[in-house]
Amino acid sequence: MLEAILVMAFGALVLGAALGYAAVRFRVEGDPLVEKIDAILPQTQCGQCGFPGCKPYAQAIAKGEAEINQCPPGGEEGIHKLADLLGREFKSLSAEHGIEKPKSVAVIDEQVCIGCTLCIQACPVDAIVGAAKQMHTVVAPLCTGCELCLPPCPVDCISMQSTGESVENWKWKYPVVKINPAQREST
């Protein structure tokens, strides 16, 4: 019995020493994974995920503190990419964090705007320009469509407008397999 304990204790000692040395020798600093996750996130900075921006959400995912399905702007596709990167199982978008919407930009109704600057303070990417008591306007190409400017507006003069299709950004549609009834019958 004593022998057994001695042997096991000896083993534990040797292995513990080896591991302790390795832990010091192979210490890792920083986390390159966060960057990789952040690169997938759409950078809307909308906070729908429950974190104050895309980077904090990326950090939370990397630490395993957040699910990968909390980003509505990234959509199903973003979740697929995250699942791929992290080797996790795909989950459909969590409803409590929002739904996937077509890309849109904020538009300020300039007739109504009172120039309160509240939206300017809310915009995470400084895409609204204007000064106190001046009409504000959204720089559309910079707007991420995060909707963070909607709640602060005291006069509800900001609306989200989906970015329309033009010849430049028109996309070929997914080929639809159509089997018409005539073909169905003839074969």
Partner 1 sequence: MSALQRLFKFHGGVKPAYNKEASTGLPIAVAPTPTLLVIPLHQSIGGMPRPLVKAGERVLKGQRIGGADGNASSAVHASTSGAVVAVEMRLMPHTSGLSALCVVIEPDGRDEWIARQPFDFRKASPTQTRDYLRDAGVVGLGGAVFPTHLKLNPGKHGKLDTLVLNGAECEPFITCDDVLMRERAETILKGAIIMREMLSARQVLIGIEDNKPEAIAAMEIAAQAANQAAGDLAMQVVSVPTRYPAGGAKQLIRVLTGIEVPHGKRSTDYGVQCFNVGTAYAVYEAIALGQPLISRIVTVAGNVGQARNYEALFGTPMRDLVALCDPLPDSDRVIMGGPMMGLLMPGDEVPVVKATNCVLVGSRKLFPPPPPEMPCIRCGECAKACPADLQPFEMYWFSRAKIFGKAQEYKLFDCIECGCCAYVCPSHIPLVDYYRFAKSEIWAREVDKEAADIARERYEFRLLREEREKQEKAAKLAAKTAAGREKAAAAIAEAAKPAATPEDDTKKALIAAALERAKAQKEQVHPGNVSNLTPEQEAEVTAIEARRAEIREMAKPHLRQDD
Partner 2 sequence: MTSYLFVVLGAVLVNNVVFVRILGLCPFMGVSKKLETAVGMGAATTFVLTMACGASFVIDRWLLIPNQLEYLRTLSFIVTIAAIVQLTELVIQKTSPLLHQVLGIYLPLITTNCAVLGIPLLNVSLRHNFLESLLFGFGSAVGFTLALILFAGIRERLEAADVPVHFRGTAIAMITAGLMSLAFMGFAGLDKYK
Partner 3 sequence: MNNSPYFLKPASVQSVMLRVLVALLPGIAAYVWFFGAAILVQIVLASVTALAAEAVMLRLRDKPVMLFLSDGSALVTAWLIALTFPSIAPWWLTVLGTLLAIVVAKHLYGGLGQNPFNPAMVAFALMIVAYPLLMSQWPKVDATDFAGQWEAIFGSRQILDAMTMATPLDALRTVLRDPEQRAMIGGILGSKATFGNVGGRGWEWIATGYFLGGLYLLQQRIITWHMPTAFLATLFVVSGAFALYEPDRFAGPGFQLFTGGAMLAAFFIVTDPVSGATTPRGKLIFAAGVALLTWIIRTFGAYPDGIAFAVLLMNIATPLIDMYTQPPVFGHKDKRGDSP
Query: Alpha helix (H) ranges present in 26-110?
Result: 32-40, 54-63, 75-86
Euclidean distance between CA atoms 65 and 82, whole angstroms: 14
Encoded tokens for 18: 């080896």
Task: Choose between 111 and 187: whose C-beta lies nearer to partner 3.
Answer: 187
Stretch that binds partner 1, among 15-23, 24-32, 62-70, 172-180 (CB under 8 A): 172-180
Site string for partner 2, 74-93 (x = CB under 8 A): ----------xxxx-x----
Q: Site residues for partner 1, window 131-150 (CB under 8 A)?
A: 131-134, 141-142, 144
CA distances from 50 to 31, 54, 75 (A): 22, 10, 16
Encoded one letter per residue, x for contact with partner 2 by CB under 8 A and - for no contact, window 41-80 reads ---------------------x------------------
Sequence-ordered list of residues with C-beta below 8 angstroms from that of 36, at least 6 positions apart, any chain: 85
Other Cβ atoms less than 10 A from the Cβ of 6: the count is 10
Binds partner 2 by CB under 8 A, chosen from 9, 15, 142, 155 = 15
The answer to whether residue 3 forms part of the interface with partner 2 (CB under 8 A) is yes
Q: Tell me which residues in 14-73 interact with partner 1 (CB under 8 A).
A: 38, 41-45, 53-54
Residue 122: partners with Cβ closer than 8 Å, 6 or more residues away: 148, 149, 151, 152
171 contacts partner 3 (rule: CB under 8 A): no
- When asked if residue 31 is in the footprint of partner 2 (CB under 8 A), the reply is yes
How wide is the angle at C-alpha 72 spanned by C-alphas 70 and 74, nearest 5°?
100
Could you tell me which residues are beta bridge partners of residue 105?
161
Q: Quick one: which segment of 9-17, 59-67, 86-94, 160-168 binds partner 1 (CB under 8 A)?
A: 160-168
Q: Footprint of partner 1 on this chain (CB under 8 A)? A: 38, 41-45, 53-54, 111-112, 114-115, 124-127, 131-134, 141-142, 144, 154-155, 165-175, 177-179, 183
